């Protein structure tokens, strides 16, 4: 009896022409648990050679790559799967058990909203038609529907509910959906019942804080939808009009499992991520940008800086991978954290100046002194940047962040 699953074909929207091609084929040997990926002969014969994951799946024709993690699913395919929120929807819609293989989620999540430039299907050739995502005009209805879904209420708009249930591919724990506004795609995340503070407002103000401080952070807009529900809308960096951009998560770059156990956490590290970026061809400035982002997270107290909250994307003009803009940067609303989730330097998670600068050379600085000078200037920029965005926050959050900033700047300054 064969134990090899039916092949799942992997499609890629070409970064140059926008055409969809079959880039490879995936099969799972259910007896051994080995998942195999192979670049498609048609892809090779067409002279195409983009790697869909430059760390774990370099472009090598005629080779079967065995997946080392995720029960046999390759990292970049895991990136194209939903996390807690999307999985919950798929479990409800298809009656999947919580123990279902990642592959089931990958196949059931739908291609219309999938992260990055990959899609999957059972046909050898990529499907010609791709579903449209909801437009911005429906923001109010979209929010009502997302909240009804998260609170397990019946549909407010049956056809929208259906569409959201079948487009559950995006990652993350919070309810979310994509809207299009002209050529731009945005991720929409509403306030939810368990939020102790206005998280969407805090996320918006923090993303803007990064931007006014001169860092590359995804743009955001804050809305009061329907009956005043707070909603943040985040510009998607993996979309450029109808073009989907190749993307890979920080977890894939680090070759680590996320979510994962304590043994995986040893490789969750900013300096290692900087080295991986360099290794896949990103310029030195991306290492420095990652250093700045780490400092930003330390200053604002964002300890939800896990490996899936970082990413790289392929730049078709420069023909190389670059660090993606920062996203999901949200200060811990309850406590001022003393540690970040990722290591700031080898084995060190503490929010402390010596931890920040110790491995600076691995980010691309010439020496520690250079990093110290950069850090001092950055801290000034962050303090000035806060003044520009403080007015976006409500009084309670403003007081909290003012205090946080004072404490952390005190801690990190010379």
Interface ranges with Mg ion (CB under 5 A)? 172, 309, 328
Site for ligand ATP in 328-357 (CB under 6 A): 328
d(CA 353, CA 343): 13
Nearer to Mg ion, 126 or 175 (CB): 175
Whether 324 contacts 247, CB under 8 Å: yes
Instruction: Quote the CA–CA distance of 349 and 365 in Å, as a whole number.
Output: 20
- Judged by beta carbon distances under 5 to 8 A according to partner kind, the member of Mg ion, ligand ATP, none in contact with residue 187 is ligand ATP
Span of 48-56, 125-133, 236-244, 374-382 interacting with ligand ATP by CB under 6 A: 236-244
Angle subtended at Cα 57 by Cα 78 and Cα 24, rounded to the nearest 5 degrees = 80
Select 144 or 178, whichever has its Cβ closest to ligand ATP: 178
- Assess 172 for contact with ligand ATP (CB under 6 A): yes
- State yes or no: residue 105 binds ligand ATP (CB under 6 A): no
Contact call for residues 363 and 274 (beta carbons, < 8 A): yes
Report how far residue 359's alpha carbon sits from residue 366's, in angstroms, rounded to the nearest whole number. Answer: 11
Among the residue ranges 66-74, 145-153, 190-198, 229-237, the one whose residues contact ligand ATP (CB under 6 A): 229-237
Tell me if residue 185 falls in helix, strand or coil.
strand
Residues 6+ apart with CB under 8 A from 45: none
Distance of alpha carbon 71 from alpha carbon 101, whole angstroms: 7
Query: Binding of ligand ATP at residue 118 (CB under 6 A)?
Result: no
Contact in structure between 247 and 117 (CB atoms under 8 Å): yes
Find which of Mg ion, ligand ATP, none residue 236 binds, CB within 5 to 8 Å per kind: ligand ATP
Per CB under 6 A, does 215 bind ligand ATP? Answer: no
Query: Looking at 35-43, 228-236, 385-393, 395-403, which segment touches ligand ATP (CB under 6 A)?
Result: 228-236
DSSP state of 49: -
| 174 binds ligand ATP per the rule CB under 6 A | yes
Min separation Cβ 82 and ligand ATP, Å: 9
Q: Which is nearer to ligand ATP, 218 or 397 (CB)?
A: 218
Is residue 208 within a helix (H) or strand (E), and if so which, with residue range?
helix 199-212
Task: Tell which one of 72, 134, 171, 337 touches ligand ATP (CB under 6 A).
Answer: 171
Closest to 216 (Cα-Cα) out of 326, 362, 377, 117: 326
Q: Closest residue to ligand ATP, Cβ-based?
A: 172
Q: Which is nearer to ligand ATP, 54 or 116 (CB)?
A: 116
* Least Cβ distance, residue 328 to Mg ion (angstroms): 4
The number of beta carbons lying within 10 Å of the beta carbon of residue 91 is 16
Q: Which are the contacts of 354, defined by CB distance < 8 A and separation ≥ 6?
A: none
CB nearer to ligand ATP: pick between 304 and 407: 304
238 binds, among ligand ATP, Mg ion, none (CB under 5 to 8 A by kind): ligand ATP
Residue list 17-46, contact with ligand ATP (CB under 6 A): none
Q: Are 325 and 191 spatial neighbours (Cβ–Cβ below 8 Å)? A: no
Among 53, 75, 113, 238, binds ligand ATP (CB under 6 A): 238
Tokens representing residue 323 in the block: 């660090």
For residue 124, the 8-state DSSP code is: S
Note whether 309 binds ligand ATP by CB under 6 A. yes
Count CA atoms within 13 Å of residue 173 on its CB side: 10
- Pick one of ligand ATP, Mg ion, none as the site partner of residue 327 (Cβ within 5 to 8 A by kind): ligand ATP
Q: Which of 37, 17, 13 shows the shortest CA–CA distance to 25?
A: 37
Q: Which residues bind ligand ATP (CB under 6 A)?
A: 83, 115, 170-174, 187, 218, 234-238, 304, 308-309, 327-328
């Amino acid at each position: 009896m064969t134990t090899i699953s039916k092949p799942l074909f992997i499609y890629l929207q070409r970064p140059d022409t926008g055409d969809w091609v079959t880039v490879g084929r995936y099969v799972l040997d259910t007896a051994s648990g080995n998942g195999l990926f192979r670049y498609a002969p048609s892809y090779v014969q067409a002279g195409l050679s983009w790697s869909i994951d430059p760390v774990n799946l370099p472009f090598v024709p005629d080779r079967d790559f065995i997946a080392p993690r995720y029960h046999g699913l390759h990292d970049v395919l895991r990136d194209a799967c939903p996390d807690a929120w999307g999985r919950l929807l798929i479990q409800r819609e298809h009656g999947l058990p919580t123990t279902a293989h990642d592959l089931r989620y990958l196949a059931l999540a739908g291609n219309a909203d999938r992260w990055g430039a990959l899609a999957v299907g059972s046909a050898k050739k990529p499907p010609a038609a791709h579903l449209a995502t909801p437009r911005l005009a429906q923001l109010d209805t979209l929010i009502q529907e997302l909240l009804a879904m998260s609170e397990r209420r019946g549909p407010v708009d049956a056809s929208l509910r259906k569409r959201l249930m079948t487009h559950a591919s995006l990652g993350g724990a919070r309810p979310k959906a994509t809207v299009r506004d002209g050529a731009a795609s945005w991720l929409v995340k509403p306030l939810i019942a368990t939020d102790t503070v206005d998280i969407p407002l805090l996320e918006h103000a923090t993303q803007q804080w990064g931007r006014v401080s001169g860092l590359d952070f995804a743009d955001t807009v804050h809305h009061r939808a329907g009956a005043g529900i707070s909603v943040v809308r985040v510009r998607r960096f993996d979309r450029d009009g109808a073009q989907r951009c190749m993307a890979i998560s920080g977890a894939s770059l680090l070759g680590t499992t996320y979510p994962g156990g304590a043994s995986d956490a040893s490789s969750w590290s900013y300096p290692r991520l900087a080295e991986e970026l360099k290794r896949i061809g990103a310029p030195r400035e991306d290492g420095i940008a990652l250093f700045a982002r780490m400092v930003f997270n330390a200053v604002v107290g964002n300890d939800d800086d896990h490996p899936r909250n970082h990413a790289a994307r392929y730049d078709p003009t420069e023909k190389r991978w670059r660090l993606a803009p920062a996203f999901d940067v949200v200060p811990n609303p309850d406590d001022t954290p003393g540690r970040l989730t990722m290591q700031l330097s080898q084995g060190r998670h503490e929010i402390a100046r010596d931890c920040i600068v110790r491995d600076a050379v691995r980010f691309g600085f010439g020496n520690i002194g250079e990093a110290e000078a950069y850090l001092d200037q950055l801290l000034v920029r962050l303090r000035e940047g806060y003044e520009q965005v403080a007015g976006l926050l409500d009084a309670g959050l403003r007081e909290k962040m003012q205090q946080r900033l004072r404490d952390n700047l005190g801690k990190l300054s010379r």
